[in-house]
A and B are shown apart, each in its own frame.
Chain A
């Protein structure tokens, strides 16, 4: 099993719904605008603004950017305490109680996907009670990152076990894929021929971010064709 994601840029409208869904699903701290301007924004799923060409043929695109869940992750190699590691299903995870907050993984990540808790995370009073009980709230001073909503995988596995059946493709979908209004984000097992991602990842439009670094990302983009 090798969990992966395909993001079809032809279908993506750049609405940012995935980023919002991710933030709520994973209890990612909400940072005040003033602090956000200082660079303390916390987003596991970020929207990258890409400028292509030059004026007057300038084209601006917004593309979703989760953690790439590399098969050869540069972040796990440098961690001094095994707080970040790649599990047997290919998910690059972070162990919050083990992280010492040295931020070496952040410095080593070529995609700059990791977030750090510069302060004790806080939520505005209105949504303090609406936190997702399935996801632990991170303490101050640790690094956190996209987990492909691994808590949903745990839940789906338990349910499948309870009902004595195999895990189905639709059982485990991360919040971003679940919430995408145009179905641009497809998630599943890259090694399972019955899963859509397996098929899509072999599309001629498939490309990976910074592919030449040899990190083998498991997030695959389908580029736009006009």
Chain B
């Protein structure tokens, strides 16, 4: 049997990491597996001894696990939501970005979704959620929305992947059985394309409200209590904005890394970074607007318990984190991205990393200070995460990197067929669309 791989493919750069993975891949998998195994051991220790191995205590009963839960789920909004919005708004420049973004969602969502379970005192009783669940509890809403989002976003990742898997199958890339199975008999007929388009359209319309619901509901975990600093009506949109913000930053970091590692300069051009970083800049401003509204209303209300939390963040124990968050999420990215001279790839990389760090700090600042300032006068210590919590955080990041490099080892991180489609049809479609925007020429006034 002869395979087409003899012929040079126009998008050979995208196929190279799959056809010739190289040794670095195995080294990285090895290193990451060691980290993950050690994390597994640390978690096992927590299971054995109880949550006492963490730094959580009375009254700060939620710590790193809940912070990372909110953070990872926030990052997951990068993908499917952004990709759906770009596809829906027919932004032609989306083509090389959507796949990368969707992969982030699928992997990070799986990691983030595990965090509440890691946080449980009795993970062995997790099934109580199903047979004793109370639908009135925001935690149950979360279980429902995260499951829905995970299902929708993995399907949304997989469906546009089918034609690419078929390309790999036709080129006889190993393991053949994998591509044979996953391509579902894709032949690229007109009918198949029609069905694919239909499925993608349905999914991208569905996925947007689901994604918005996910982070709204995560904010509800906090907002539905009466605790100072949490009981806020803007928490829903505030969290959604923060999630999209951190998500775009995560996509940008990943795009820059992949461009460097896989030499994708031909696909990820400066214009893609420029557009996405302007989106990042806008999100930074919206984020600041929400943060400003949230704290200003708290300050003017001047409710004593609210003010204790407020000053704890602004001038108390959490002031270094709070002001670092303002710098990372607002001052630094805005300063870098406002100026075209600094809006270069290194500049964007710095701004994006700063936003990812800043958004993690934001989650820290939302979760801990409200718990650390109970209404009644209790002795309160400072929450210091232990080795266990740090390790589970690092382990989570390691699982993300491992998941991503395994995906990139077997599947193209840039959608080949969508790029091809873009090459052939985009120009025509866009011209037609622009013509349709234009005012019709006036009917020739022959009679006048």
Contact = CB atoms under 8 A, between A and B. Distances in A.
Contact of A40 (B57, B134, B139): B57
Given A106-B61, A111-B376, A116-B61, A39 B50 contact: no
A192 B153 CA distance: 58
Interface stretch (A14-22, A71-79, A161-169, A175-183): A71-79
Contacts of B122: 99-101, 139, 141-142
Interface string B121-150: 111011011001110111110010000000
A48 interface: yes
Given A106-B58, A112-B374, A140-B49, 12 more contacts: A51-B377, A80-B139, A81-B125, A81-B129, A81-B137, A100-B128, A107-B61, A107-B225, A116-B121, A120-B50, A142-B122, A143-B121
| Chain B interface mostly | loop
Contact of A110 (B57, B139, B143, B226): B226
B121 A40 contact: no
B377 A140 contact: no
B51 A118 contact: yes
Most chain B Cβ neighbours within 10 Å, of A78, A100, A111: A100
Contacts of A98: 125, 128, 132
Interface residues of A, number: 47
6 contacts: A46-B378, A78-B139, A98-B132, A100-B120, A112-B374, A143-B121
Contacts of A74: 225-226
Interface string B148-185: 00000000000000000000000000000000000000
B227 A110 contact: yes
A222 to B, nearest CB: 18
Contacts of B380: 39
Interface of B: 49-52, 56-62, 116, 119-123, 125-126, 128-129, 132-134, 136-140, 143, 221, 224-227, 371, 374-378, 380-381
B228 to A, nearest CB: 9
A31 to B, nearest CB: 10
Q: Give 10 nearest A-B pairs by CB, closest first.
A: A101-B121, A141-B121, A39-B57, A118-B52, A80-B139, A119-B52, A80-B137, A140-B50, A108-B225, A112-B374
